A and B are shown apart, each in its own frame.
Chain A
Amino acid sequence: MSTLSLGGTRRRNSDRPIWEEPPTAAGQAAKGTVLTLIVLVILVPMYSVVVTSLSNQASINDAGGMVLVPHGLTLSAYRTILSGGPVARALIVSLAITLVGTVFSMVVSVLCAYGLSRSRSLGHRFVLMLLIVTMFVSAGLIPTYLVVVGLGGYDSYWALIIPSSVSVFNILVLRSFYSGTASELIDAARMDGANEWRILWSVVLPTSRAVTAVVTLFYAVGYWNSFFNVMLYMPVDSQKWPLQYVLYEYVNLGMNMPGQTNSGFGSGHSQTAPLSLQMAVVVLTLIPVLIAFPFLQKHLGKGMLTGAIKG
């Protein structure tokens, strides 16, 4: 996030419809205040967390906790965390789950969406019903838990991926796009001897890059953020926790951070403040979303709205 210059923005008069009155000074000020407040309320917490994660013990002591005015910035919290231990492992686990899960989800969803998008195919109506029903009827937490555990999912990574791997909503979004692919294109490809797999790969996928990108990012963000499944299926073995669960345990429940316990709490071994360690974990969970967000945002308008409304 770059810095924003809200105060100095001047309206361009060319944007203004000729019939609209010029804004009153009071109205302008009120609007500016509200919008600035909204932006600040969202950005200040993130800013403060980042700055605190980069601060040394002295400036945290000066501020009495979270730091707003940075001085004495240091990367030592990140160095401590990433040099090994539970947080570094959790980061790798999270990245792996996100990568594997997203690929799996996308393969299954794209195939299903394409299979259902060619109308008049045998049974597509029935399968569609099968999908839509699950949007209305949810089995509930406990039977799902029992099924996953019954299949051996307890304390294993696949329980974090497979049971929640496909979202019917995403499949429907993809499908409505694939149905919209020009049938002339598809017929032409078929005339050239392409089978369905080939058509999907060389015709339909390239023409629907935007929606594919959005759905991919949705799945990726979902896996990255997954928390409850960890709590359900692997709460015991802290070696296997992904980052979100580590964040929960170390920051929300106030368990001792790695680096605090190792080096003796507050001893002279390292300059790294416990609070900045915690905030560094927060930043690590934040960064991938911040990286994915611009791409999401770029495609969101055309990708989601039409798809969601078409259903």
Chain B
Amino acid sequence: MAATVTTEGTQSPARVPRRLIRRGRRARPDREPKLNWRIRLRRDKSLIIMTLPAVVLLLVFSYLPILGNITAFQYYDPLVGIWNSTWIGLQNFQQLFNDPLFWEAMNNTLAISAIQLVLFFPIPIMLALLLNSVLSQRLRSVIQSVALLPHFFSWVLVITLFQQMIGGAGLLNQFLRNHDIGVWNIMTDPTTFKLLVTSQVIWKDAGWGIIVFLAALSAIDQNLYEAAAVDGAGRWRRMWHITLPGIKGTIVLMLVLRLGNILNVGFEQLLIQRQAVGHDAADVLDTFSYYYGIATNNYGYGAAAGIFKSVISLVLVYGANKLAHLFGEDGLYRS
């Protein structure tokens, strides 16, 4: 233990024996001198052991599957495994790009994403503004709690609740039947399915989305409001000239991050409802690789669809992050 204590930086680095200090280009005067890696290994042994389980899990369940993507270039047969399956080159991709079902899934993905961008994205902002204008602290936190709650429900639960409210046997149709207006089973209607999906997302996650905007709102200097009021700016002018510019950065950041994720629309959500509305309305890229890959044992084909999505997603997320940096925001990570 003694060695651990002396080298941990509690002492000045000058007392480390000279031969242990790495020379050469790396040894810049503005940095602390680097210790020999063997010494550091001994010093940091326990820290390294601590990170090991997580690293092993990541290697096995995140990195190994990345390599496993070579099944996309095979006619993968689970009986003979990845080493002995037949190589077919780009045939899976060719088939994919000629598959109308794939383009249908692509269309659905983009359409749902677009609808959510227009209908879902502004709602947390508006809610945050509304909530911020409620003065009573107690009332505000009660409403915020209620709005946040559904975020922690599973998709199965959310869809069950929707089913019981607006489904064929649900509360809404009970009411309609009792008043002889007729029946409208929204849950199984393919034509309005994309709007239904969006409303489910709003119900579940709007309350979650307001957190970041409320934080941005609370960071605005209250003196600005007072000064504006003294200058004669009314409620709406203050909102337009102080509040909105104050949270502009956050809005732009969230928008950019959302754009990076346009291929990720709720997976479980759509998977669960696929049977009720049919694949032509409910298939997105994720459900496509599930149904045409795993459920039909056509693994290589599904993997090809997965790669297509991963690569485009990577480019989008990377680009979105760069864009966020351009706006002076941190983005997903800070380099």
Q: A: which residues have CB within 8 A of B?
A: 1, 4, 6, 9, 11-12, 15-17, 19-21, 31, 34-35, 38-39, 41-46, 48-49, 52, 63-66, 68, 107-109, 111-112, 114-116, 118, 120-124, 127, 130-132, 134-151, 162-166, 168, 171, 187, 190-191, 193, 195-197, 200, 221, 224-228, 231-232, 244-245, 247-248, 251-253, 279, 282, 285-286, 289-290, 292-293, 296-297, 300, 304-305, 309, 311
Q: List 24 A-B contacts (CB under 8 A).
A: A4-B142, A20-B235, A21-B235, A66-B164, A68-B171, A109-B54, A111-B50, A112-B51, A115-B51, A123-B44, A130-B55, A131-B54, A132-B333, A139-B306, A142-B303, A144-B61, A151-B60, A195-B1, A195-B4, A282-B160, A293-B152, A296-B152, A297-B145, A305-B211
Whether the pair A46, B161 counts as a contact (CB closer than 8 A) is: yes
Binds A, one of B96-104, B108-116, B313-321: B313-321
Whether the pair B48, A123 counts as a contact (CB closer than 8 A) is: yes
Contacts of B66 in A (CB 8 A): 137, 139, 143
Whether the pair B142, A141 counts as a contact (CB closer than 8 A) is: no
Contacts of B317 in A (CB 8 A): 136
- Tell me the complex Cα distance, A147–B68, Å: 8
Instruction: Give the residue name and chain of the B residue nearest to A250 (CB).
Output: B160
CB distance from A38 to the nearest CB of B (A): 6
Pairs of residues from A and B, 7 with the lowest C-beta to C-beta distance, nearest first: A140-B306, A143-B68, A139-B65, A115-B50, A225-B154, A112-B54, A115-B51
Whether the pair A286, B153 counts as a contact (CB closer than 8 A) is: yes
CB distance from B163 to the nearest CB of A (A): 7
Beyond contacts A137-B66, A138-B62: 11 other A-B pairs, Cβ-Cβ < 8 A, are A65-B174, A68-B171, A111-B51, A130-B63, A134-B58, A141-B290, A282-B161, A290-B149, A293-B149, A309-B330, A311-B334
Whether the pair B174, A66 counts as a contact (CB closer than 8 A) is: yes
Whether the pair A64, B57 counts as a contact (CB closer than 8 A) is: no
Q: B: which residues have CB within 8 A of A?
A: 1, 4-5, 8-10, 32, 37, 40-41, 43-44, 46-51, 53-55, 57-58, 60-69, 71, 76, 78, 81-82, 127, 130-131, 133-137, 139, 142-143, 145-150, 152-157, 159-165, 169-171, 174, 177-178, 203, 207, 211-212, 215, 222, 225-226, 229-230, 234-235, 267-268, 271-272, 275, 286, 289-290, 293-294, 299, 302-303, 306-307, 309-310, 313-314, 317-318, 330, 332-334
Whether the pair A31, B135 counts as a contact (CB closer than 8 A) is: no
CB distance from B82 to the nearest CB of A (A): 7
Whether the pair B135, A142 counts as a contact (CB closer than 8 A) is: no
Whether the pair B275, A253 counts as a contact (CB closer than 8 A) is: yes
Contacts of A64 in B (CB 8 A): 174, 177-178
Instruction: Give the residue name and chain of the B residue nearest to A6 (CB).
Output: B139
Name the one of B65, B229, B290 contacting A143, with C-beta atoms under 8 angstroms.
B65
Name the one of A65, A122, A139, A191 contacting B68, with C-beta atoms under 8 angstroms.
A139
Whether the pair A142, B71 counts as a contact (CB closer than 8 A) is: yes
Whether the pair A227, B268 counts as a contact (CB closer than 8 A) is: yes
Whether the pair A127, B156 counts as a contact (CB closer than 8 A) is: no
Whether the pair A11, B136 counts as a contact (CB closer than 8 A) is: yes
- Tell me the complex Cα distance, A225–B269, Å: 13
- Tell me the complex Cα distance, A190–B215, Å: 37
The residue in A143, A150, A292 that gathers the most chain B C-beta atoms within 10 A of its C-beta is: A143
Instruction: Give the residue name and chain of the B residue nearest to A68 (CB).
Output: B171
CB distance from A55 to the nearest CB of B (A): 13
Contacts of B162 in A (CB 8 A): 45
Whether the pair A112, B50 counts as a contact (CB closer than 8 A) is: yes
Whether the pair A166, B57 counts as a contact (CB closer than 8 A) is: yes
Name the one of A31, A221, A282, A293 contacting B133, with C-beta atoms under 8 angstroms.
A31
- Tell me the complex Cα distance, A279–B163, Å: 12
The residue in A224, A289, A290 that gathers the most chain B C-beta atoms within 10 A of its C-beta is: A289
Known A-B contacts A39-B143, A143-B71; A221 and B152 likewise in contact (beta carbons under 8 Å): yes
CB distance from B320 to the nearest CB of A (A): 11
Whether the pair B135, A12 counts as a contact (CB closer than 8 A) is: yes
Instruction: Give the residue name and chain of the A residue nearest to B289 (CB).
Output: A141
CB distance from A179 to the nearest CB of B (A): 13
Whether the pair A42, B50 counts as a contact (CB closer than 8 A) is: no
